[in-house]
Chains A and B, each alone.
Chain A
Amino acid sequence: MKAATFSSTELRLARDRGHENHGWLDSWHTFSFADYYDPEHMGYGPLRVINEDRVQETSGFGTPSHRDMEIITSVLEGAIAHRDSIGTGSTITYGDVQRMSAGTGVRHSEYNAHNGETHFLQIWIEPKVLGIAPS
């Protein structure tokens, strides 16, 4: 085994993350997000958001608007109905990973499309180019 050449290993443990429970939505934030702000945890390079969300049945996010962000959604349990302003509509279930480039702006909604709680990760990565066309 070769010698380790790094000295910057750092753990980010689950229990130390930001936590908000809104009832319909239970969310753990690895990095600062919404009402959770910790200057020590603003992201890692261009990785800006990892939210672990549990959304109750028949609940979801309206049409939040995003700009200049690569958004990856990975469903761990249940299913999400995704609709957005660029005409994409799909149901994301366990094992699916969806990527959306917000670019100049996308409005999208995510609703629980499952009889029961839906558990998913939402990951945001800052793009290297601003103002691209949404996709």
Chain B
Amino acid sequence: MHQDAFVYTGLFDGETRVECRIGEGRLGYVHVARGHITANGHALGPGDALKSGSGDIALSGGRSAEVIVFDLPEEASAE
């Protein structure tokens, strides 16, 4: 990947709770590919997404959920 971007995918079903650290100068983004999950207190379904800014992302309460988490640089400028 020719960008300071990290892309994680996860399957969530049941009690699993995951906290993704994002941090200063970064942008967090969650896209629900399928199923249902709670992200930062918001109930998300298939195709829904959440922008967390530099805030961490807490995922819990997955129901057959397939989730993609992006940890992106704030600046997108090309060199």
Partners in one complex: yes
Please give the residue numbers on chain A whose beta carbons come within 8 Å of chain B beta carbons, in ascending order. 4-15, 17, 28, 30, 43-47, 50, 52, 68, 70, 72, 74, 76, 97, 99, 101, 103, 121, 123, 125-130, 132
Closest residue of chain A to B32 (Cβ to Cβ) is A14
B48/A45 in contact, CB under 8 A = no
In the complex, the number of residue pairs spanning A and B with C-beta atoms less than 8 Å apart equals 117
CA distance A128 to B55 in the complex (A): 23
Interface size class of B (residues with CB under 8 A): 35 or more
Residues of chain A within 8 A (CB-CB) of B66 are 76
**15 interchain pairs (CB within 8 A)?**
A5-B54, A7-B53, A9-B53, A11-B44, A14-B45, A14-B46, A45-B76, A46-B5, A46-B73, A47-B72, A70-B2, A76-B34, A97-B9, A121-B31, A130-B79
B53/A8 in contact, CB under 8 A = yes
Closest chain-A Cβ to B24's Cβ sits at a distance in Å of: 10
A128/B4 in contact, CB under 8 A = yes
Please give the residue numbers on chain B whose beta carbons come within 8 Å of chain A beta carbons, in ascending order. 1-5, 7, 9, 27, 29, 31, 33-34, 40, 42, 44-56, 66, 68, 70, 72-79
Closest chain-A Cβ to B7's Cβ sits at a distance in Å of: 6
Closest residue of chain A to B51 (Cβ to Cβ) is A10
Residues of chain A within 8 A (CB-CB) of B42 are 9, 11
